[in-house]
DNA sequence: GGCATCATGTAAATCGTTACATGATTGC
DNA sequence: GCAATCATGTAACGATTTACATGATGCC
């Protein structure tokens, strides 16, 4: 994966989980193995080195193992919390929106870590950049698709449909964020 | 990226471009830099080593530079063509459908490389596996979403919406493939 | 002649993958 | 006591990224 300015997406995903509560390495592996967060691998060769990097950077701290257990509980530090919040607040750039996996991970964590007033801005930025991206793709399609075989055209339309769905999602999300809290 | 049983997705993408016509390394970099295929990086440190691997495997062949030019034209070999077709024909598995980038790349190339009769099968497999994936995600959502903050719920719904769009796309693609060739 | 662009590469660093190793607990 | 699973790691390897290096061509 891409270095992402300072830390990998996996590292920020870990910080996000630590933001909720302390975890052991094994617990984190289970999360990645058993929930739809399996976008990240549960391989020890990925997780343990990532945890070591976070410890080395001072972003997480190891607690002494409780009650003779062999389990190492790790928890977020102050600087780690800061780095996590900075990541959540990063501006949404053109290059981020496609693919937008890391962006959606950030959005998912925002609800518990940022004041509600900051969140609609993310959706606005996301919409703007996604709209620009879609427009560029449509332009490319209009100019070139005529010469493509059918499967090439359909594959491109797959991409266009996804971008349109993402824009529609952003509209719905903006609406949902405006609602006063309760609502079935 | 993942080794993918024998070759990387980048390597197959290169084979697909060679299947259309011979290219130089620089041309390929331009394709990745300037078209929506920019999912792949145009960095020389990715492309040239990948080309070297393909040459070493005997899947592409270097032609002598034409007319004193410094440019090296590379073209597909017989075994390379076979390996490419084998890749196109791979069964669609559960693990392939999310993310499905490599799958869509395969589909895009199929129109020029496989007999038309083989293509609907791909769409059927894709639909089946995608439907299973969507059902699993919906089950997880129904069981867990109640405890999540709003942004977490919305982020998950983003994923659900994409899966639904992909299924709808597959239905449309199946229809389009049934049409007799001409149709505006 | 000089400068942008064409064109092909290499080097160092980093990250993730697969596979292996090892020991402690828990349930039967 | 034994097997499954809890729990933490290491080692070898492969691929990609960024940055650097180098020379040729075409244009003004």
Query: How far apart are the CA of B64 and the nearest CA of chain A, in angstroms?
Result: 30
C-alpha–C-alpha distance, residues A145 and B35, integer Å: 12
Chain C, protein-covered positions (CB within 7 A)? 6-12, 14-21, 23-25
Which residues from chain A sit within 8 angstroms of residue B154, using beta carbons? 107-108, 169, 172-173, 176-177
Inspect the interface and report whether the beta carbons of B111 and A149 lie closer than 8 Å: yes
Between the CA of residue A32 and those of A36, B97, B134, B176, what are the distances in Å? 7, 18, 18, 38
Nearest CA in chain B to A156: B108
Among residues of chain A, what percentage have pLDDT more than 70? 91
Q: Considering only CA atoms, which residue is closest to the C1' of nucleotide C19?
A: A45
- Tell me the pLDDT band of B48, cut-offs 50, 70 and 90: very high
SS3 content of chain A, % helix, strand, coil (to 5): 70, 5, 25
CB proximity list for B155: less than 8 A, separation 6 or greater: A104, A105, A107, A108
| Pair B149, A114: CB distance under 8 Å | no
Contact A40, A13 (CB under 8 A): yes
Read off the pLDDT band of A181 (50, 70, 90). Answer: low
| Each residue's pLDDT tens digit, B114-168 | 999 999 999 999 999 999 999 999 999 999 999 999 999 999 999 999 999 999 9
pLDDT higher than 50, residue B178: yes
For residues B41 and B175, give the distance between their C-alpha atoms in angstroms, rounded to a whole number: 34
d(CA B174, CA A63): 56
Q: Verify whether the Cβ–Cβ distance B104 to A169 is below 8 Å.
A: no
Nearest residue on chain A to B2, alpha-carbon basis: A1
Section B38-64 average pLDDT: 91
Instruction: State pLDDT tens for residues A144-173.
Output: 999 999 999 999 999 999 999 999 999 999
**Cα–Cα distance between A105 and A13 in angstroms, integer?**
7
State the pLDDT at residue A3.
Answer: 44
Strand partners, A62: A74
Q: Does the beta carbon of A178 lie under 8 angstroms from any beta carbon of chain B?
A: no
Short-list A165, A96, A83, CA closest to A125: A96
B167 near A CB under 8 A: no
Instruction: Write out pLDDT tens, residues A50-102.
Output: 999 999 999 999 886 554 456 789 999 999 999 999 999 999 988 888 889 99
Structure tokens at A5: 């300015």
What CA–CA distances, in Å, run from B176 to B126, B127, B162, B180? 16, 15, 21, 9
**Residue, of A119 and A41, whose pLDDT is higher:** A119
Whether chain A has a CB inside 8 Å of the CB on B35: the answer is yes
Q: What is the model's pTM? A: 0.88
Q: Which single residue is written with the structure tokens 């070493």?
A: B56
- Total H helices, total E strands in chain A: 7, 2
Residue A1 scores a pLDDT above 50:
no
Q: What angle do CA B52, B55, B60 make, to 5 degrees?
A: 130
Average per-residue pLDDT for chain A: 89
pLDDT digits (tens, 9 = 90+) for B56-83: 999 999 876 554 456 789 999 999 999 9
User: What is the distance between the alpha carbons of residues A138 and A152, in angstroms, rounded to a whole number?
Assistant: 14
pLDDT of residue B140: 93
Reading the block at residue B66, the tokens are 């034409």
User: Does B55 contact A at CB distance below 8 Å?
Assistant: no
- Residues 63-102 of chain A whose Cβ lies under 8 A from any Cβ of chain B: 99
Which pair of structure tokens corresponds to residue B125?
A: 């497999």
Q: Stated in angstroms, how far is A184 CA from D14 C1'?
A: 50
Which residues of B fall within a CB distance of 8 Å from A148? 111
Pick from B151, B164, B169: CB nearest A158: B169
Q: Which of A105, A114, A107 has its CA nearest to residue A9?
A: A105
Measured in whole angstroms, how far is the alpha carbon of residue A33 from the centre of its chain?
Answer: 17
CB A27 within 7 Å, strand D: yes
**pLDDT recorded at residue B70:** 64
The helix/strand/coil state of A62 is strand
Q: Which nucleotide is nearest to B4 (CA to C1')?
A: C17
B108 near A CB under 8 A: yes
Distance CA B59, CA B68 (A): 25
Mean pLDDT taken over chain B:
89
Interface contact A38, partner B, CB < 8 A? no
pLDDT category, A23, cuts 50, 70, 90? very high
**Which residues have C-beta within 8 Å of that of residue B110, sequence separation ≥ 6?**
A151, B88, B118, B119, B122
Q: Which residues from chain A sit within 8 angstroms of residue B169, using beta carbons?
A: 154, 157-158, 161
Q: Are the C-beta atoms of B164 and B137 separated by less than 8 Å?
A: no
Q: Could B119 and A151 be called an inter-chain contact, meaning their C-beta atoms sit closer than 8 Å?
A: yes
Packing angle, helices B119-144 and B150-178, rounded to 10: 160
């Amino acid at each position: 994966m891409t270095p992402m300015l300072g830390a990998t997406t996996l590292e920020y995903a870990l910080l996000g989980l630590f933001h909720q509560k302390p975890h052991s390495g094994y617990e984190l592996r289970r999360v990645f193995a058993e929930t739809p967060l399996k976008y990240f691998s549960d391989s020890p060769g990925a997780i343990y080195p990532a945890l070591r990097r976070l410890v080395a950077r001072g972003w997480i701290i190891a607690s002494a193992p409780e009650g003779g257990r062999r389990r190492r509980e790790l928890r977020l530090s102050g600087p780690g919390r800061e780095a996590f919040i900075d990541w959540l607040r990063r501006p949404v750039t053109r290059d981020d929106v496609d693919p937008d996996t890391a962006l959606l991970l950030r959005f998912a964590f925002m609800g518990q870590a940022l004041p509600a007033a900051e969140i609609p801005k993310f959706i606005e930025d996301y919409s703007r950049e996604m709209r620009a991206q879609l427009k560029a793709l449509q332009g490319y399609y209009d100019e070139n698709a005529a010469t493509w075989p059918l499967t090439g055209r359909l594959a491109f339309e797959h991409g266009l449909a996804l971008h349109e769905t993402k824009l529609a999602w952003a509209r719905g999300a903006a609406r949902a964020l405006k609602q006063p809290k309760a609502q079935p």
